Amino acid sequence: MLRALAPYLAYAYLTFVKWTTRLRVVGAEHPQQMRRQGRHYILAFWHNRQVFFTTTHRHQGFSVMVSMSRDGGVIAKVMSLSGIHASRGSSSRGGAAGVREMAAVIERGGDLAISPDGPKGPVYEVKPGVLFLAQKLSIPIIPITNALSRKIVFKRSWDQFQVPLPFGRAVLGYGEPIWVREGDDMEEAARRVKAGMDRNTQEAERAVA
């Protein structure tokens, strides 16, 4: 029963966080420009900052890759309540099916959001999946991050996972689009994406300080 109730409790808590957090958005011109041009894109965020996005990106047509584990089922339900589609799969279980489903999202007119270092790390390492999707679908990767003035950090987790607390300040930051073209070296592309994501996160942390 507790597992069944958990998604609803989490959604209610995050709604309270949303109502009580002073939010500043930086770099919104990057996804806005893509939309004006009629282009789709992939939002790339580090795994440890994913929770706050369920408050900032509700009902915006995004699809997020979610693990096929039991915990992933709880997360997928929270996503559903938030109006965010969950594509079930990971690098270890159901990955190919998840990639096919996310490619279908683009065909239906949606946009994607992926944590390149999820679901098990190594932390802050860009895995090939997001690069493959960006290259094959000919869409850019836009780094996205958040920085929170009040949060719980689970220091024993592999990525020091963050959960926002109410009554704080937050910065939502978008970075410049990064393209992965046909013929690009994937290791070099991974370095470019990581550098963009790290720079975006550092700037957001400075802005919320």
The torsion of the CA quartet 47, 52, 58, 64, rounded to 10 degrees, works out to 10
Average pLDDT score over residue span 10-25: 97
Higher pLDDT, 72 or 106: 106
pLDDT reported for residue 105:
80
Q: How far apart are CA 100 and CA 27, in angstroms?
A: 30
Domain spans in the chain, listed from the N-terminal domain onward: 2-208
- pLDDT tens-digit series, residues 122-148: 999 999 989 988 998 899 999 999 999
- pLDDT tens-digit series, residues 43-52: 999 999 999 9
pLDDT reported for residue 88:
66
pLDDT band at 75 (very low <50, low <70, confident <90, very high): confident
Average pLDDT score over residue span 15-29: 98
- Give 141's strand partners: 42, 178
pLDDT reported for residue 91:
45
Closest CA to 63 of 34, 39, 37, 89: 89
Mean pLDDT of the chain: 90
Contacts of 162 (CB under 8 A, 6+ apart): 48, 49, 51, 52, 148, 151, 152, 153, 154
Global pTM reads: 0.91
pLDDT reported for residue 94:
43
Using the predicted structure, report yes or no on whether residue 90 has a pLDDT greater than 70.
no
Beta strands 111-114 and 62-66: pairing type? parallel
Q: Which amino acid is residue 81, in one-letter code?
A: L
